[in-house]
Amino acid sequence: DQQVKQNSPSLSVQEGRISILNCDYTNSMFDYFLWYKKYPAEGPTFLISISSIKDKNEDGRFTVFLNKSAKHLSLHIVPSQPGDSAVYFCAAIIYSSNTGKLIFGQGTTLQVKP
């Protein structure tokens, strides 16, 4: 039962262009969503998050959009830089149930070409 899905295993974009990474979820009880970036041989690094009561959150070059009716979120990176090349995971949690369990998607490998 994959509650969080990232259907694109990989994405390649040109430096300076926009990268859009997508994530779908099935559990309407999720109330908080997060994006992590992972380089090889390192642990996931927190990037940006969004509460379910919002539809957009922005932090520098990173913006996360949440569409609750479609159970879909996306991460926009503008402009993309070669250093953004990494695996990106979306994750979701039901904070209101006092769980500690983040549920992750399978990840999308982003390659930004110079």
Partner 1 sequence: DTGVSQNPRHKITKRGQNVTFRCDPISEHNRLYWYRQTLGQGPEFLTYFQNEAQLEKSRLLSDRFSAERPKGSFSTLEIQRTEQGDSAMYLCASSSTGVQPQHFGDGTRLSIL
Can you give the binding site for partner 1, defined by CB under 8 A?
Answer: 4, 32, 34, 36, 41-46, 49, 51, 89, 91, 95, 98-107
- What's the closest the beta carbon of residue 92 comes to partner 1, in angstroms? 11
Report in angstroms the alpha-carbon separations of 70 from 66, 81, 100. 9, 29, 25
Residue 5, both tokens: 């899905």
- What's the closest the beta carbon of residue 50 comes to partner 1, in angstroms? 11
Of residues 61 and 106, the one with the C-beta less far from partner 1: 106
- What's the closest the beta carbon of residue 59 comes to partner 1, in angstroms? 12
The CB-side HSE value for 97 (13 A sphere, CA atoms) comes to 11
The 3-state DSSP class for residue 96 equals helix
Of residues 33 and 112, the one with the C-beta less far from partner 1: 33
The 3-state DSSP class for residue 97 equals helix
Of residues 12 and 51, the one with the C-beta less far from partner 1: 51
